Chain A
Amino acid sequence: MKKALFILLCLILLPLDMMAQTQRVRGTVTDAQGEPLIGVAVRVRGTQNGAQTDLDGHFVIDCKQGDILDITFIGFKPGTAKVGKHEVFVTLEEDVKTMEQVVVNGYTQTDIRKATGSVGILTEKDLKDAPLANVDMLMQGKLAGVNVQAVSGRPGESAKVRIRGTSSITGNNEPLWVVDGVPIQKNIPAMGNTYIRSGDFSTLYANGVAGIPPQNIESITVLKDAAAAAIYGSQAQAGVIVITTKKGQAGKLHLSYSGSVTVQTSPSRDPNLMNTEEKLAYEQSIWDEFSADGFANGTYYPRIGIIGQIRSGYGQFAGMTTAQQDAYIEQLKQTNTDWFQELLRNTVSTSHYVSASGGSDKLTYYVSGGLSTNKGIVKKSSSDGYNFNAKISTRPSDAVTMNFSVDYSYMKSLAAATNLNFISYSYFANPYEKPYNDDGSYAADNTFYALAPMNNQSSMPLPSNGFNVFREIDNTEQVGISTSMTIRGDITWRINDKFKLYGLAAYTNSNDDSDTEIGQDTYEAWNDRPFENINLLSKRIYGSLTQTSNVNRSWLLRAQANYSQTFKDIHHVSAVFGTEVRSNYAKTIYRKAYGYDPVTGNYSTPLLLPSRADGLYTEEEMQSYKGIVDNLSGQSRTEDRFASFYGAIDYVLMNRYIANVTARSDGSNNFGSKEQFNYTWSVGLAWNIDEERFMKRIKHIISRATVRLSTGLTGGVNKSVYPVLIMDYLKTYRNSDTQAYRMGTINNAPNPHLRWEHTRDWNGNIDLGFFKNRLNMNLSFYRREGYDLVTSERVVSTTGYATQSYNTSEQLNQGVELMLSGTPIKTKDWTWSISGNISYNQNVLTHYESPSGSLFGDIYVGYPLGKIFTGKSTGINPETGIYNYELRPDADIQDLADQRDYKNYLFYIGTSSYPWTGGLSTNVSWKNWSLSISTSFSLGAKIKNHIKSPASYSNASGSTTNYLPNSLDIYDVYAAHLNTNKDAAHRWTPDNPITDGYPRLIDAHGTPLNLEVDQPTYSSVLEGLYYENGSYWKIGSLTLSYSLPERLCRRMSLSSVGVSFTANNLWMITSYKGMNPESPGAVYPMSRSFSLGINLGF
């Protein structure tokens, strides 16, 4: 490492211009239109002497008269020039076939014209939209068949990526990410400890691509089908995404800087929420309808909202007269808090990226560093990081090339550490509550968590200082730090022009640490008090510190032989055979300390409160105390190993007919398996029709035409099941007076017939280019049959298990993908290009064994995995005030039981995953100005528009007299305790039986209404109310950029200057009424952001 850095440093510092001799020749390289070509490689034939063109297409090279110059540039046919006495002018002809597209699959590299599989390629210029986004989000909407969906707007959050649908029902569906040929292996072992909450344990950067700055990426190749991905074997079931990072180019030192400043704006409050006036009136109407009588008669009544507290004289309101109550309510009206505004903010974030590259023919280097600060729109949340990459390529001899690289990244996330969902809080918190008192102290929120204690639930008391959201934000903190270092080296040895040996070694060490501090006086600490034993009256609170540390060590070694030969000028054969081993070891350790003191960093663990009056512990209490202490620290480890053999043969006849065969065998340490090795393969054919003679005549119309057909088999291990009896040791022990005994359990029914999950895949692809490739079209069809998919099935109880996981299920993904791109206008000053893609994926479960053993499970066969079966509402019944549901036409209604039977109401209404996805991007440039818009769309899914209120009748004590499914808070009178939609006030009541507003409110603990006698009560039926069409079309980004004319640059001694303005998440067209159909529910919202960026070349 040190040595490498030293070499690097020397290279940067030493003058590179060391080979001055003979004669200095100048030259210019242009394209057919006379435009200068930048970055063209110029090399003196037979020597190592090379140069690169600058912004004007000029180059300077030292050579002798009569030397031949080889001039090469991607996308152009190679040119030559003979050195004479004068300046050299070269015009390169565009190579319409290459289209700048090279398929890099991590093992081999092919021209796309020789590839038989289905791939999607993104280059550097496609990844410039959002300076703060992760690599995955930058891919959104840009490739057909690659569906990228944001999970939330939290800084650093990974997106959900699905390539051609869902591959496994119970296993992993994440595609494999590969960086420069090295698969990312990262594992975060599960903790399984009740004292460690999920929030104590940061998995924000767990997917491993988070540390790769988009500026460092040269290209992304997505391998979509078996023919493209089979070389990855068992890891490729869900597709492969190959990232190629930038390399140094020979030539003089090229320095560049890019930086950006981004303003993210907070989303505004849902305009449909009630304000204080409306909410108080709503609560009063509920008090009048549901509580007033009960309160007056001294019988049961619900207390809802602050009005419920005031009117019933609860707590601080005890003994108030009606006039005092009214006065207090009037005073409350002075407060009207916009909790969105309080909790969300506008932020400014920045990013910087510097790179230096250059080198000689013998040695090139690329060094870069980036820095970004990303402040989240939710208060206290941020994600900052920096990264450093260095890469050297050397050619010690003509036969050997070596690459060596080091990547380091550091990322830090910060957030308040609480179980409270701030988005949900800002939505539901009552507007009459306020964040601070007039004296600046935290004002207690008298309602948010008060529903249970104020309705006689003695087991859920509130702390004496009340609850305040800002106290939680200020006094809790989670810091997650993730660092990762990868060292990678490869070597290629050309034995002769036919054979070459290749070796690759890579090692990655990554650490994910998190510290969660819970301040002593927070509600979070109040809810986490295991030492209070059974003492409900205890007011003792203690803070805590939870530290988790996860280390991942993975390595990979690969040895590969390449062979390539052309016979009789028309037969070209190339083959590759190799083997690789890889391993991943992950360990997490955690420690939790109660009684933590943030000032000294020490802690004083509280003693358990004994239940006995004499202060002694019972046997049970001693055991429980020991249990708590034992569980405050621990570790969890996993280790995976793989060994694989692979090979691929390509045969190309006359550049027209291509055949390709790939095979791979993977062995893994899947425990106890006899089938340790799995085989995957693919066969592909391609026909470049445009090379045929009969096409020559229409070459001016159809400039490129390729048809590809392929099939293959990929498969994966489903790690959730084992073929043999495996005992898991429990994390707890059984204690006697003298000894602790290990305890074990056999959780999964072993299945000796268990096999790998497989996907068989057929793929057809037509690739066309028209009018010198000004218009391009790519159409793909695919059919992916998943079989041997593991799901659990019910087994007879006498086996000792209720279910067993087995290769029972089959599913089908089939679809069409269309990509169109064109450049309708291309003149000297104007260019307008447009590209779009659309893909349709149909997913069908073709065979399935129901885990419950009941017939009900079988109705899913023939429907997609994301199927939604629910009821169809026919509107509010004016008689009862509740929604009625449509009966199925085939329902056979004999009695009330049939009326209630949910099966008579279930309809298939669609799927929760979008069958149609795609994107549309366009770019207009005029002289030095350029405007690009990139959009993405997802169509045809049904998305639930419902954020469940945290307030519910289940918070209150008492028996349930009216059946109310928990998710149906639209009926729940207790849900009115927290803020809700304005329209809720316009509701059905016995006196005002309207049907155009909200349904009636029902008190689940109140007088029985017996509404459920002839109605379905199954929540899946009733929730049909909430589903909406989730189709959306989103303008992901809009970028306006300007590059400074060269003359001006030169005056500043710069080679290039570019300025850009980008707006992200600008606008969404959708009929969905919720916050965001892409990431529905109370999740961290996606924010609109505006960035100003600058690029400098030195």
Chain B
Amino acid sequence: MKKYILSLMTALTLVSCTEYLDIKPYGKEIPEDVEDFSALLHHLCDDLDNGNTLASPILGVYGDAGSLEAVTDNMEVNLTESPQGDMLRGYIGHFAVSTSYTNLYEAIRTCNIILDEIGDDRDTREGLDLIGTSYAIRGVCYYQLMRLYCAPPLAEDGTLGVPLVTTFDMEAKPVRSTMQETIGLIEHDFKEAIACDIQEPMYRFNSDIIHGYLARLYHWCGRWQEARDEALLVLGKHPLIEGDDYKAMINKQFGLAGNRLIMGNIYGSTLTLTSYYNTLKARPISVRYINLFPASEADIRKTFFFNAKRQSTKTCFAGMRSAEMAFIAMEAAYHLGDPTTALKELNDFRRKRISPYTDLTMTTLPAIRDDEYIKEDCYGNILTPLLYNILVERRKEFFMENADRFYELKRNGRPEWWIMFRGLKYWNQKYMYTWPLPVADIELQPGLIQNPGYDEAL
């Protein structure tokens, strides 16, 4: 016994300690290969699928309708019923405190780690899918950061971009880039993603979707020819649908259908959704929106978007579907100086929603309504009837989708108006369309410039 213990001890002291200590905790891993990184990406995609908080600003979730859309002129904040509607926010300034900035950078971090570390597996099929998806998600994150935290690029000169992080580094403290740099990175990421030709369906992204995002990017920053090319490319592969197919697609709560290309919240709980819709019903739809549908037109959307009580009955959606490409192409044609094509495409679109349908002509285009909040286009020019009608059609189509009206208001002049909310008067002001960077970041990072209007906010 004695000898045994002593020899064992001697043996143990002689064995390399590092080797003895080199054991791995269970369930933990230093990520190194494709399999490890795919676990990170699957987690991110799972968050997208389920609309979890972290990932909700990336693709959006159905709940955006109740937050961002509910404060726009599509809804009547003043008439919100309490207590059911208390969950809904009141005005655009309520978004001054938001975690989107942090959440988007968190997703960017995951993508950066994968892109930094993937190493040798770069050229395998799995590797390409991983890299492609990481680029795609990173691009989408920056696209969202740009839309939320930067002023619209066409309205002002020299607007700032967001800080750009393309590699994982805990020590880095980048300041804001220029708008062109931000756009450049998003474009770069999307093109890299397309080059990878993602095949794995569980990663949710594929080249068509990324072309769609490129179209969105070019549309936002006024690169009309490229916007039109990309949009038509996607539209060619995923044509518009109409009638019952259209209705079925819009009514589907969870999951892809029709020409939906991607969606946040592909899964979700019916229970939560039901209670959410009940909340939403407490905020009536504005008369201004309902009046966009003339009584004379048999528009399919009138039959299931809302009811007689001015409550929304449309299924909320966040993601991308082909119809948006049609509008991008239309508006691009308009800005490229081809109103004929724009009008033709507008009629083509309306024909799919209104039946029987009579084509609009340059002379029969309805005039700009007095109660319209958007008075100018993305350059600050007074709206023409054609562009107005394109925007109106877009507003009708994307009601309760992607918080589209919010971004359209932001892109086209950032109109100001006031609302009454819980007995107090609130002004929706121009600066509020661009959200503030988190105060903590401004304090921690010298040289980081806060968006205008938030200098005193603490």
Q: Footprint of B on A, CB under 8 Å? A: 400, 402, 489, 491, 493, 501, 503, 505, 533-534, 557-559, 579, 581, 611, 618-620, 623, 636-639, 641-643, 667-669, 671-672, 676, 724-730, 734, 736, 741-746, 749-751, 794-802, 804, 852-855, 957-959, 1005
Contacts and interface: CB of A to CB of B under 8 A. Distances in A.
A618 B273 CA distance: 15
A734 B21 contact: no
A674 to B, nearest CB: 11
Interface in B1-44: 1-2, 5-6, 8-10, 12-13, 17-18, 20-31, 35-36, 38-40, 42-43
Listed residue (A534, A557, A750, A800) with the most chain B CB atoms within 10 angstroms of its CB: A800
A728 B43 contact: no
4 closest residue pairs by CB, A with B: A800-B109, A959-B83, A744-B39, A853-B440
B16 to A, nearest CB: 10
A750 B170 contact: yes
Contact of A557 (B8, B39, B105, B201): B8
A727 B28 contact: yes
Nearest to B82: A959
Contacts of B172: 798-799
B89 to A, nearest CB: 14
A741 B202 contact: yes
A725 B102 contact: no
B13 A579 contact: yes
B222 interface: no
A797 B27 CA distance: 27
Contacts, number: 191
Listed residue (B38, B43, B102) with the most chain A CB atoms within 10 angstroms of its CB: B43
A854 B439 contact: yes
B38 A638 contact: no
A852 B110 contact: no
A620 B28 contact: no
B271 interface: yes
A641 B21 contact: yes
A802 B102 contact: yes
Nearest to A671: B25
Interface string B356-374: 0000000000000000000
Nearest to A751: B170
Contacts of B110: 746, 800
A798 B163 contact: yes
B9 A503 contact: yes
Interface of B: 1-2, 5-6, 8-10, 12-13, 17-18, 20-31, 35-36, 38-40, 42-43, 45-46, 49, 82-83, 86, 101-102, 105-110, 112-113, 163, 165, 168-170, 172-174, 201-202, 254-255, 267-271, 274, 438-441, 443-445, 448
A725 B113 contact: yes
A974 to B, nearest CB: 15
Contacts of B25: 638-639, 669, 671
Contacts of A853: 439-440, 443-444
B6 A559 contact: yes
B438 to A, nearest CB: 6
Contact of B443 (A493, A800, A854): A854
Contacts of B40: 727, 744-746
B444 A534 contact: no
Contacts of B173: 796, 798
A800 B105 contact: yes
Contacts of B2: 400, 402, 491, 493, 503
B448 to A, nearest CB: 8
A428 B360 CA distance: 72
A620 B254 contact: yes
Nearest to A851: B440
Given A743-B46, A796-B444, A729 B28 contact: yes
Given A727-B36, A751-B170, 16 more contacts: A402-B2, A493-B2, A534-B274, A557-B5, A557-B12, A558-B9, A637-B26, A639-B26, A669-B21, A676-B21, A724-B30, A727-B31, A743-B42, A745-B40, A746-B110, A798-B174
Listed residue (A489, A727, A854) with the most chain B CB atoms within 10 angstroms of its CB: A727
A77 to B, nearest CB: 36
Given A534-B269, A800-B106, A800-B168, A959 B86 contact: yes
Contacts of B112: 800
A491 B5 contact: yes
B440 A643 contact: no
A668 B21 contact: yes
B30 A726 contact: yes
29 contacts: A491-B5, A505-B8, A557-B8, A559-B9, A579-B9, A581-B20, A611-B270, A620-B254, A620-B268, A636-B26, A637-B26, A641-B21, A667-B18, A669-B22, A669-B25, A727-B40, A734-B43, A743-B42, A744-B31, A745-B43, A746-B110, A795-B444, A796-B441, A796-B444, A798-B105, A799-B169, A799-B170, A800-B112, A853-B439
A750 to B, nearest CB: 7
B43 to A, nearest CB: 4
Contacts of B271: 533-534, 611
Contacts of A958: 83
Contacts of A797: 101-102, 105, 438, 440-441
B9 A557 contact: yes
A796 B43 contact: no
A643 B270 contact: no
Contacts of B30: 672, 724-727
A726 B439 CA distance: 29
A579 B163 CA distance: 52
Nearest to A726: B28
A937 to B, nearest CB: 43
Given A727-B36, A729-B28, A801 B43 contact: no
A742 B274 CA distance: 31
Given A725-B30, A746-B113, A741 B86 contact: no
B457 to A, nearest CB: 13
Listed residue (B25, B31, B268) with the most chain A CB atoms within 10 angstroms of its CB: B25
A588 to B, nearest CB: 11
A744 B27 CA distance: 9
Contacts of A726: 28-30
Contacts of A957: 83
B170 A643 contact: no
Nearest to B111: A800
A742 B39 contact: yes
A744 B29 contact: yes
A861 B452 CA distance: 34
B445 A734 contact: no
A340 B325 CA distance: 70
A639 B267 contact: no
Contacts of A794: 440, 444
A799 B270 contact: no
B440 A798 contact: no
B336 to A, nearest CB: 36
Contact of B202 (A491, A736, A855): A736
A505 B4 CA distance: 11
A781 to B, nearest CB: 38
A642 B22 CA distance: 10
B280 to A, nearest CB: 16
Contacts of B31: 725, 727, 744, 746
A639 B105 contact: no
A796 B445 contact: yes
A559 B12 CA distance: 10
Contact of B17 (A533, A667, A855): A667
A641 B109 contact: no
A503 B6 contact: yes
A33 to B, nearest CB: 46
Contacts of B45: 734
A745 B254 CA distance: 26
A987 to B, nearest CB: 27
Contact of B42 (A668, A724, A741): A741
A1016 B35 CA distance: 53
Contacts of B46: 734, 743
A804 B170 contact: yes
